[in-house]
Structure 1
Amino acid sequence: MSLIQLAKHAFFNFPQLKEARKIGLGKIIAYILLLSSLSAIPITFQVLQIFKDIQTDGQEIAKQIPDFSIADGKLKTDNAEKGFIYQTDSIIFTFDPEGRRTPEDVSKDMVGNFLSVGLLSEELIVSLPSNDATTSILGSNQFELLYTDLTDANLLNGKMLRNILANQQLPWWVFVVIFIVALYPSFLSLIASILIATLFGNIYCRFRQVRYSFLDNLKITTLCVTLPVVVATIVHALTYTFDSSTFVLLSTLFIFTRAVRPEKNIT
């Protein structure tokens, strides 16, 4: 039985999934990548939506930015502009030429927003949400750029910043990059679910005296995870708070018990 036929059986004929043990390991790995790609789609669109929200809010913030320049490592305004804080749905923007705020203040402002940006008197601050993913990938959730570190201070001024924010467009390759980044945790999460389900499946097979090897059970489990991943992907696309990992694991275990259950002989 081919892998495509088994994938069809994964939706309505669970006992046939035991035939997956005859499929080559290379095809099984490719199938896991295919399922991971499917589960990465909702994450990709969610992240894209965040980028679009930031783009829209950035255009709104652009209208609020006054004329300024950088001189002697400090932020200078052309008309003695006072500082202000402007908040949108995704961004909190701080403009502080008077030096009243600190980088810590900018970071603390970020409550319920995705991004906090501060043009302070001596540095530019960008703060992202503080979580394990941000820390592990970027090393820090806050980035600071001293104006004295700029090779050309004329590169940063009010007109330039307004033009960047007002005219920015997301290039097509951003979608590809986001998808690849989303694919990595999706693949790891799916691999973890399959391995855990296989371990429990081995125990179940021993109790039921089903003599399959660990590799056999791994292949069967990979096909058993098909329906849970499809359902989880659909639900995840509708709600961000769905615990897909737990659902996929428990559903896969249930389908596995149906797939490897010995057939009863009718005499």
Structure 2
Amino acid sequence: MARKLFNQSLSNYDTLKSRALQAIDTFVDLVYILNEEMAKELRSAIVKFYKLRYFHDFTNYVITIEDMIDITEHCLTNPVEKMQEIRAQFHSVIKNFQDIRHFETVDKCLMELPDEVAVAHCMLHQAVLFNETMQESLTKIVEIKTRQHAQDINITIYDVKNCFKDFVPDFYEQLLVDTYTETCGFLRILNASTTDLVNDKWRNNEETKFPKKWTPLLMLLKDKTSMRQSLQEPIILTLFAANLTSQDIVKTLYKD
């Protein structure tokens, strides 16, 4: 019975670690795709602002398009790097959190107690205690790290707007774009997923609801973005997103 309890505890422990990794991976994948969509919208807005059909003359702009591209890529780099860092950190913490039960206590049951009944009672008591201790310890780690990492990602995404405004005052007002702002639809989805992730129930034996709820949306977004990959060239994606006709694009790119 004691052996069964020990093994059951180890199995539950591994299951919790697996569920934690699955949940955070689902979250980071979702945020990555939403961030990619927001970045495309922002790049498209910049293309529109600089009137791409007059590609040959940007001399009248205070900030050249080359500078604006550098600023854009600088501000959009941090969230991507942060997501990669956070995924690696979470995986490292959860995978390396080892079973630290002290089995010498069980050995004392065998060596020091007077009869088999006392030994059996001691071993069962230790098995139950170890199970509760290990589950409680990992659950706390998962809850704390999940909240911390989800909030870090959220803050990083919201900092994109501040990054642009630090470089270019009234940047968003000029572009007339909602991307990375409070009214952005993608950010509302991100906020909802963040709330669900940090409020998920890690203290029961059921599967967490987050992957089950958000995986269908994630798969839909992955299918949608994979269809675009057939175009391959990012500049083409940006040009089409700017609502220009094929004739506009050809005239712009191949203008004498």
TM-score (ref. length: structure 1): 0.32
User: Could you say which structure has the higher strand fraction?
Assistant: 1
TM-score (ref. length: structure 2): 0.33
